[in-house]
Structure 1
Amino acid sequence: MKLRKLAVSLLLFAGSLPTAFAQGKFQWKDATSGGYSYRYVTDDPMKARFYTLKNGLTVILSVNKKEPRIQTLIGTRAGSNNDPKDHTGLAHYLEHLLFKGTQQYGSLDWAKEKPYIDQIENLYDKYNKTTDPAARKTVYHQIDSVSGIAAKYAIANEYDKMMTGMGAQGTNAHTWVEETIYEEDIPSNAVDKYLTVQAERFRTPVFRLFHTELEAVYEEKNRGLDNDGRKVYETMLAALFPTHNYGQQSTIGTVEHLKNPNLKVIRDFYNTWYVPNNMAIVMAGDFDPDYVIKTIDQQFGYMKAKPVKEYKPAPEAPFKAPVVKEVLGPDAESIDLAFRLPGALDTQSSLILGVLSSILQNGKAGLLDLNLNKQQKALSAGAQVLGLKDYSVLVLSGKAKQGQTLDDVKNLLLGQLDILKKGAFDESLVKAIVNNSKLAELQGLESNNNRATSIMDAFIKSRGANWAHDVSYVDDMGKVTKKQIVDYANKYLANNYVAVYKRKGEDKNIEKVEKPAITPVEVNREAQSPFLQKVAAIPATPVKPQWLDYEKDIQTAPVGNTNMMYVQNKDNGLFRLYYRFDMGSWNNKKLALAAQYLQFLGTDKYTSEQISKEFYNIACNFSVGTSTENTTITITGLQENFDKAVSLFEHILTSCKPNEEALAALKGRLQKSRADAKLNKSAIMKGVINYAMYGANNPFNNQLSQADLDGITAAELTGLLHELPSYKHTIIYYGPQSLAAAAANVQKLHTLPASFKEAPAAVKFSKTTQSANQVLFADYDMVQTEVNWVGNEAVYDPANTGIISLFNNYFGGGMGSIVFQTIRESKALAYSTYAMFISPDKKGERYSQIAYVGSQADKMNEAIKGMNELLNDIPRSDKLLETAKESMKQDIETERITNDGIIFSYLAAQKLGLNTDIRKQVYESIDKMNFDDVKKFHDTNIAHKPYTYCVVASGKKVSIDDLKKIGEVKTLSLEDIFGY
């Protein structure tokens, strides 16, 4: 089966199987249950049922009883491809507006609200057709005025409140070229509530609170202008598709079109594409499919089918020579080579392309893995497939190491393509690809999200018609021959690519979406529509929470002079084995480098490349990861290959040989990665926050100095690796073997010393105490301004866990929270904003308060003022508080900590000084808490406190004098932030 979000290699697979291969056990069959007919594919591990209701609505259901939750997706086969040429970004606008409510919810009084909504629609139509700048300002002032009146009748975020109240998680949506998908993860007892809300959501949507949401989309556009990766992606598509809408209409739209929205055109789009014969409801999780399909039919039967004219573009002309493009921006340089190929509907092409892309890169034994990444010939190299309906795209990507040009990297990438085209690869690699894909398939079946996303992807591309091919995909990969792969490569992968050079430099073509004048609107937090009350009253069978009993849920057995912690895998034949050491980078900065170095080392029996092939051939893997306080070795794969995998890893760890050439290359790549990190605004902000939290010496800049790095020898690093097992560690096993058998196996394979060495003392980092407001400023060439508030508070106390969770839910942790409603919904100051009280992960450490706003530079002062008002004075909403409490209860009731997660839950609890499942204590405290408790917590820990303001922005766009009004300003250099 082709699951959409599994492992790196499977992320690259596009499309489905050719009809010629879809034989044998994978066949479409018809069945009837509960009075409804459906189709299914034999031997489908998802057991997906495909229904088509009388009005054409597709419903696809996959039952998974692993936990009492359901991943739901409602999808429309329409995205930016379907935008009118003169209104790009429209599908995405509509996605935002379908969170604003209907005539039944989101309104205090629809009859009184409607005339103003109609007036706003007409004004936007007028605004869209007005070209004189002064006249446009006049019209927009009218829009702002009428919108303020209309908002008095609106209930902001009522959709989010209903979903939160029923225990939904991950409320979201996305628009792409061929799709718009609405996402919810709901408790299994909320089916009736969920379907009632969704049926109403698509019945009579009202495009209210539009001008503040419009500003949120402006902010989203401006964030994209600051994202070099997005600019590369859009440039690549535009060059690949000079006529197709994939390249000619960006999903978020042009600046000009964003400035000129038209609600009437958006309504026309909705009426055209949001029809049942163009939509699907997908649900994966714990439910009764007979009950669910009957309820969907009852709720969505009102929808009327309409003819849908699909987007049918003219074929793109072949490229006769490379097309070269350049993107400028502040982030690190890179190169992408993109080939335009047949689309996902060409199932034979997609099958061969899936295998071909995994031969190029599979994370272990692909050509790029072994010949470029393993040999460190570039900073990084990768391959991926973008599988769309009309065309697929194969992208080869790379970054240059020190002393290398992007053209050097391009030639290296094309060189591996030449090897592929000549057939200079081992045909047995295809078998290994199939085995690893089966492993990833087993892992992916555990996730409802993977199931639902894969099924929805099939609907978007083929209305589900190719599902039999998708199910047999992995099996049929093994039937692809070397000749087919080589012929395909030579046919499609010639001198016909688009090359996009991402270079460091100032992009002088950026056109920011300017801030319109917006008056804050009412959000009516306390209001509730009768519809919300009706949904809340729908009966729901209680789900009992399940608490972990660590003494019963985790078994232990002695292995040598340490213990093995054990949970049995009763679902499949996969194992995960961990060696968890009580030391990390705070004990020895060189540990992380040693862990990286291991992947480039061989032994007296194997080269580094042979090791990768050996693991890939047995569908197993290993990794060594170093955090601040722990180092963890992880070995995973099929239990049938447990002995081989563990023996091979033990041999590697104890017998790896120093390789001076590999170390020199690694040092060079590390230096380049460090330099690149200094060009990344996210890394810069992370460093500034650490500086605010801990001071000049902090966990983020606890790095090896250049002198330290230069002085490290290959023998020193291999020595660290060889002696690692001699330090104290715990063994963790999750797999199908019994405790006794697993312990005996590990005892046999894992060599332990008679006594453990003492780990080096760990460096200590203590959080600072803010005595006055301070501003830490980092200058970065960007359109937006990003601000984080940091304040360190009291020492961890488990008794506070419940109130902290409630405070975060109520105040600033979601789309229905006080912060989001005020900053984004009412004042339109940001696309993204939140405020959270962060608990430490270790006993004796302190809490921190973190708040965030990302806004246009010219709105920075307003955004800071708006957040400060909330930090100092928490608004009261009893209804919102009840919703937050109900959400907490639902989350805990339906959460199931399973598999090796049980062991890691125990280890996390132990680190906090706990020996029981603290969720039980939190759950029992929820009903006892009220607004006075939340306010007391806020006033004690948040209000009128000094904060360190972390500001990353362009010094050309923000005023340092404005920042000085907040507190003392300290401009941090990149050396201050990164420590090198």
Structure 2
Amino acid sequence: MNLIKKAISLLLFTCALMNTTSAQQKYEWKEGESGGYKYRYITNDPMKARFYTLKNGLTVILSVNKKDPRIQTLIGTRAGSNNDPQDHTGLAHYLEHLLFKGTEQFGSLDWAKEKPYLDNIEGLYDNYNHTTDPIARKVVYHQIDSVSGLAARYAIANEYDKAMASMGSQGTNAHTWTEETIYEEDIPSNAIDKFLAVQSERFRDPVFRLFHTELEAVYEEKNRGLDNDGRKSYELMLKTLFPTHNYGQQSTIGTIEHLKNPSLKAIRQFYDAYYVPNNMAIVMAGDFDFDYLIKRIDSSFAYMQPKPVPEYKAPVEAPITAPIVREVFGPDAENVTIAFRMPGALDVKSSTILNVLSQIMENGKAGLLDLNINRQQKVQGASAGLMQWKDYTVFSLSGKAKQGQTLEQVKDLLLGQLEILKKGEFDETLVKAIVNNAKLAELQGLDNNNNRASAMMDGFIKHRGQNWLTDVSAVDDMGKITKKEIVDFADKYLKDNYVLLYKRKGEDKNIEKVEKPVITPVEVNREAQSAFLQKLNAIPATPVKPQWLDFDKDIQKGKTGVADVLYVQNKDNGLFRLYYRFDMGSWNNKLLPLASQYLQYLGTDKYTTEQISKEFYNIACNFSVSSGTENTVITISGLQENFDKAASLFEHLLRNCQPNEQILATLKGRIQKGRADNKLNKGAILKGLVNYGMYGAKNPFNNQLSDADLNAITAKDLVDILHSLPDYKHTVIYYGPQSLTAAVASIKKEHTLPATFKEAPAAIKFAKADQTKNNVLFADYDMVQSEVNWVRNSSVYKPENTALISMFNNYFGGGMGSIVFQTIRESKALAYSTYAYYASPDKKDERYSVVAYVGSQADKMDDAITGMNELLNDIPRSDKLFETSRMSQKQDIETERITQDGIIFTYLASKKLGLTTDYRKTVYENIDKITFDNVKLFHDQNIAGKPYTYCILASEKKISLDNLKKYGDVKKVTLEEIFGY
């Protein structure tokens, strides 16, 4: 139910599929017919997508990918927060939540008895919506709560989730944004009939049951947004850029006033207006037969009747004639954003130029911000981005200040790079490199069904799929953009016509949280099952045979000098990935992560760092060096035709990088600023607090260089580490199109190795702490909500328990259909997000840990803790849910295909656990033997009645430390104790 997650993920893939004006001749619309259905397609479309329009106007877009026996499905409607009534903002998002609640056929024990109560509730909400007196509103709400409790006796909570889980669906979710609402499932390829049975029923006549508890989940979502400085900045930026357009005037989640006054009647009217076939699309990418699937979709959704759809009539915004400055205050780190209002997606020529322009500014390697700002460490970090909608596009530049730098100085640096762009002071060959890297991104994206489906759905939302030709030809047409066109475009659109948004540290005095209503827990009827679900489960499905890895056969092994080579061939395309995986990390040497980070800023005796970055980008290759706790991994990837160049260039950089004290001094300053920023970030604080609870005062999270140690490091110290890195033991991993013999020969030519490897320094050991009594670790943070993690360390890893633990996690707290989610969120409305699981270690001889979480309003924290403790101490029994969990887990394994270099990394992970075979086979063969009694015994022995460490992040203004003492001994943990600096 993430509101804007598509904003980032779509840009990553569709950057290579943006709209352009001139479709090349090799890309043409054609018509085809198969299985009695006509469709349209684009010649040379790498996705081979087919576009069907059914008789009722429903759009169906299909793309076959046989890599895995799974299908990514998206069902979308071209309606989002843009279409919300002005007096009921947030309505589209409400509706998205309610479309998980079922229909007359499923989600109900007895529809005839349930309906009168739901009708009564709808009328009460209408009354509540029009009541202004606070006391009278409480009386009406009490009636709503009472009648909702009666109605819930006939409701089957989460039956939709159970239905999807029983057929092996993964990633059950949905999101609402400005112009869209999309419903997402990743199903096994043998579940098509079951999937369509559920979805066609789901959209036939949804019932808005369990509304007041779901409404509380939306309240929680709103409050989480109020604690998110990034979300607040995003909304203020749009509000300022679009003073009349709904892009800025109607946030997706809605105003607090409207959240407090929902109308079920208005929600129904919205559904009737926009959820019609001529405004919707079904998009599927994966393993299926075109003819069978389109026939089944037509049969399932033919009942839908088209009708005219009220279009949002977008106002034309008045030009911005001078910078508009706004400020946002909050506890997180400071930053600055410069945002421009640009032509929208319907202006395809502008979209193409904008895409190229944005990547000239920043592409991660060779853009103006990359080379002139980030590579030279002039700010803490800078980036450029596009957010494209139908009517307008937002182009933005963002930056964080380093130590001793003001946000105003960062703003000037960002605008300075924009001036360089406008003067045309960039190499025109950069456009060619951008196109080559876009082709690489497109090739990589084809492997992933979600990338395919998201790109096709995005085309439908913006253009009803009519511009797919220009989407497909976009990469080629990007190459036609000239330097003059880019400069002219920048001169025309990038002036002093921007919104300047400063995110500053400080108290936000305007926050108004959504207050907690009184909610009586409702029945969830775990054991109940509708007749519809019984029929659904009876629909036959062709079994999918699981495929196990055979490490001896699936991985070839070789040697290059003293290094072992692990090899899997890429038979799909011309891409390679080469890894050097070292058996040491920060636990062996605290300087390794710093040295890895330092390398990206260094040049050699032959090349500057800018030249190295440009060269990698020009050959559509990349490199990275990452140091974890126990391993350091060098990754080189790209087009196989440029393998020698990439491997050789990296080897030269690693062996010949030159020390530079000035660069190191700047890096140290940025690290110090990053450390200060981390102390302002609630996610980082909570992660450190949980590590403290799991390991004690000295833990992996705060295993950091002290400020004194950091300041004492010299450039020579780090360069010596980098120069000598290949002399330490490491494994070479290759995934690419070359044969093993040819790959080894190529690697041997480029990668110089010693006669014998050096031994890595001994690693620090971190032992998990014993929880002998209840403890509370508290950290103070200025926030509306509270976040609570339960931590308990348990017994040592036993591979024979893997199937039982997997079954326990799936049943107890691992998803929306689990016991924890049903109880904490669906029944008691205590949280938006909650989970609990028994975490397995990644290494033999290490211990399991119990981890649980609830994020809730501060005034509900005690109730949330009580609710989770009840579940930790007593696991409820639901035979129906247990069998659903079993079926779901089996189907997950049956349809999982570990391929490419994933085979090698699965082998290495298994080896770390002391396993020599694919552990999934053991789980699969044993899961049918596991009973609820086995799971309950496991729960009783490892979880129930045990002492826990409560890790609590909240504001002392909202909760009482004295009150926390009832949970255990309380320790207020300082930020220095959490972070180690």
In the alignment, structure 1 residue 44 sits paired with structure 2 residue 75: no
Q: Residue 495 of structure 1 aligns to which amino acid in structure 2?
A: D
In the alignment, structure 1 residue 819 sits paired with structure 2 residue 795: no
Match of 1:17 in 2: 19
Contact kept, 8 Å, 1:658 with 1:714, in 2: the verdict is yes
Match of 2:417, SS state, is: helix
Q: Residue 945 of structure 2 aligns to which amino acid in structure 1?
A: H
Measure the CA separation in 2 of the matches of 1:535 and 1:47: 32
Measure the CA separation in 2 of the matches of 1:314 and 1:7: 28
Q: Residue 292 of structure 1 aligns to which amino acid in structure 2?
A: L
Match of 1:536 in 2: 537
How many Å apart are 1:380 and its aligned residue? 0.2
Match of 1:795 in 2: 796
How many Å apart are 1:585 and its aligned residue? 0.3
User: Where in structure 2 are the equivalents of 1:755-770 lying within 5 Å?
Assistant: 755-770=756-771
How many Å apart are 1:206 and its aligned residue? 0.2
Contact kept, 8 Å, 1:774 with 1:948, in 2: the verdict is yes
Measured against aligned partners, the alpha-carbon deviations of 1:675-721 in whole angstroms (never above 9, x if no partner) come to: 00000000000000000000000000000000110000001100000
Match of 1:965, SS state, is: helix
Match of 2:746 in 1: 745
Match of 1:578 in 2: 579
Measured against aligned partners, the alpha-carbon deviations of 1:463-504 in whole angstroms (never above 9, x if no partner) come to: 001100000111111000000000000000000000110000
Match of 2:842 in 1: 841
User: Where in structure 2 are the equivalents of 1:720-735 lying within 5 Å?
Assistant: 720-735=721-736
Q: Residue 675 of structure 1 aligns to which amino acid in structure 2?
A: A
Match of 1:466 in 2: 467
How many Å apart are 1:289 and its aligned residue? 1.0
Contact kept, 8 Å, 1:595 with 1:626, in 2: the verdict is yes
Contact kept, 8 Å, 1:14 with 1:387, in 2: the verdict is no
How many Å apart are 1:11 and its aligned residue? 5.6
Q: Residue 283 of structure 1 aligns to which amino acid in structure 2?
A: M
Q: Residue 164 of structure 1 aligns to which amino acid in structure 2?
A: A
Contact kept, 8 Å, 2:775 with 2:968, in 1: the verdict is yes
RMSD: 1.0
How many Å apart are 1:13 and its aligned residue? 3.3
Measured against aligned partners, the alpha-carbon deviations of 1:535-591 in whole angstroms (never above 9, x if no partner) come to: 101110000000000000000111101211000000000000000000000000000
Contact kept, 8 Å, 1:335 with 1:399, in 2: the verdict is yes
| CA distance 1:487–1:12, shift in 2 (3 Å) | farther
Contact kept, 8 Å, 1:12 with 1:386, in 2: the verdict is no
Measure the CA separation in 1 of the matches of 2:379 and 2:523: 55
Match of 2:683 in 1: 682
How many Å apart are 1:16 and its aligned residue? 3.4
Match of 2:26, SS state, is: coil
Q: Residue 890 of structure 1 aligns to which amino acid in structure 2?
A: Q
| CA distance 1:452–1:952, shift in 2 (3 Å) | same
User: Where in structure 2 are the equivalents of 1:554-565 lying within 5 Å?
Assistant: 554-565=555-566
Contact kept, 8 Å, 1:774 with 1:969, in 2: the verdict is yes
How many Å apart are 1:17 and its aligned residue? 3.1
Q: Residue 523 of structure 1 aligns to which amino acid in structure 2?
A: V
Measure the CA separation in 1 of the matches of 2:12 and 2:306: 36
Match of 2:447 in 1: 446
Measured against aligned partners, the alpha-carbon deviations of 1:115-154 in whole angstroms (never above 9, x if no partner) come to: 0000000000000000011110000000000000000000
Contact kept, 8 Å, 1:15 with 1:387, in 2: the verdict is no
In the alignment, structure 1 residue 694 sits paired with structure 2 residue 695: yes
User: Where in structure 2 are the equivalents of 1:470-869 lying within 5 Å?
Assistant: 470-869=471-870
Contact kept, 8 Å, 1:639 with 1:736, in 2: the verdict is yes
Match of 1:306, SS state, is: coil
Match of 1:389 in 2: 390
Match of 2:67 in 1: 66
Contact kept, 8 Å, 1:14 with 1:353, in 2: the verdict is no
How many Å apart are 1:7 and its aligned residue? 9.1
Measured against aligned partners, the alpha-carbon deviations of 1:856-884 in whole angstroms (never above 9, x if no partner) come to: 00001000000000000000000000000
Match of 1:302 in 2: 303
| CA distance 1:678–1:420, shift in 2 (3 Å) | same
Measure the CA separation in 2 of the matches of 1:10 and 1:201: 31
Match of 1:252 in 2: 253
Match of 1:872 in 2: 873
Measured against aligned partners, the alpha-carbon deviations of 1:900-954 in whole angstroms (never above 9, x if no partner) come to: 0000000000000001000000000111011001101100110000000000000
Measured against aligned partners, the alpha-carbon deviations of 1:221-240 in whole angstroms (never above 9, x if no partner) come to: 00000000000000000000
Contact kept, 8 Å, 2:333 with 2:677, in 1: the verdict is yes
Match of 2:289 in 1: 288
Contact kept, 8 Å, 1:6 with 1:443, in 2: the verdict is no
Measure the CA separation in 1 of the matches of 2:224 and 2:95: 19
Q: Residue 338 of structure 2 aligns to which amino acid in structure 1?
A: L
Q: Residue 708 of structure 1 aligns to which amino acid in structure 2?
A: D
How many Å apart are 1:312 and its aligned residue? 1.4
In the alignment, structure 1 residue 892 sits paired with structure 2 residue 867: no
Q: Residue 959 of structure 1 aligns to which amino acid in structure 2?
A: S
Match of 1:241 in 2: 242
Match of 1:142 in 2: 143
Measured against aligned partners, the alpha-carbon deviations of 1:438-474 in whole angstroms (never above 9, x if no partner) come to: 1111100000000000000000000001100000111
How many Å apart are 1:297 and its aligned residue? 0.4
Q: Residue 471 of structure 1 aligns to which amino acid in structure 2?
A: V
How many Å apart are 1:310 and its aligned residue? 1.1
Q: Residue 162 of structure 1 aligns to which amino acid in structure 2?
A: A
| CA distance 1:186–1:9, shift in 2 (3 Å) | closer
Q: Which runs of 5+ in 2 are unaligned?
A: 1-5
How many Å apart are 1:748 and its aligned residue? 1.1
Match of 1:366 in 2: 367
Q: Residue 641 of structure 1 aligns to which amino acid in structure 2?
A: N
Measure the CA separation in 2 of the matches of 1:7 and 1:101: 29
Q: Which runs of 5+ in 1 are unaligned?
A: none
Contact kept, 8 Å, 2:80 with 2:181, in 1: the verdict is yes
Match of 1:93 in 2: 94
Contact kept, 8 Å, 1:14 with 1:344, in 2: the verdict is no
Q: Residue 95 of structure 1 aligns to which amino acid in structure 2?
A: E
Contact kept, 8 Å, 2:162 with 2:817, in 1: the verdict is yes
Match of 1:499, SS state, is: strand
Q: Residue 419 of structure 1 aligns to which amino acid in structure 2?
A: I
How many Å apart are 1:23 and its aligned residue? 2.4
Contact kept, 8 Å, 1:6 with 1:444, in 2: the verdict is no
Measured against aligned partners, the alpha-carbon deviations of 1:169-194 in whole angstroms (never above 9, x if no partner) come to: 00000000000000000000000000
| CA distance 1:8–1:275, shift in 2 (3 Å) | closer
Match of 2:3 in 1: none
Measure the CA separation in 2 of the matches of 1:444 and 1:312: 35
Measure the CA separation in 1 of the matches of 2:820 and 2:40: 46
Measure the CA separation in 2 of the matches of 1:185 and 1:195: 13
Contact kept, 8 Å, 1:5 with 1:11, in 2: the verdict is no
Match of 1:904, SS state, is: helix
Q: Residue 962 of structure 2 aligns to which amino acid in structure 1?
A: D
Measure the CA separation in 2 of the matches of 1:16 and 1:723: 44
Match of 2:409 in 1: 408
Measure the CA separation in 1 of the matches of 2:10 and 2:870: 44
Contact kept, 8 Å, 1:430 with 1:478, in 2: the verdict is yes
Match of 2:564, SS state, is: strand
Contact kept, 8 Å, 2:17 with 2:472, in 1: the verdict is no
| CA distance 1:796–1:719, shift in 2 (3 Å) | same
Q: Residue 267 of structure 1 aligns to which amino acid in structure 2?
A: R
Match of 2:967, SS state, is: coil
Match of 1:84 in 2: 85
**TM-score when normalising by structure 1:** 0.99
Contact kept, 8 Å, 2:568 with 2:734, in 1: the verdict is yes
How many Å apart are 1:5 and its aligned residue? 9.4
Q: Residue 809 of structure 1 aligns to which amino acid in structure 2?
A: N
Q: Residue 218 of structure 1 aligns to which amino acid in structure 2?
A: Y
Match of 2:205, SS state, is: coil
Contact kept, 8 Å, 2:777 with 2:972, in 1: the verdict is yes
Contact kept, 8 Å, 1:842 with 1:912, in 2: the verdict is yes
Q: Residue 764 of structure 1 aligns to which amino acid in structure 2?
A: K
Measure the CA separation in 2 of the matches of 1:270 and 1:204: 10
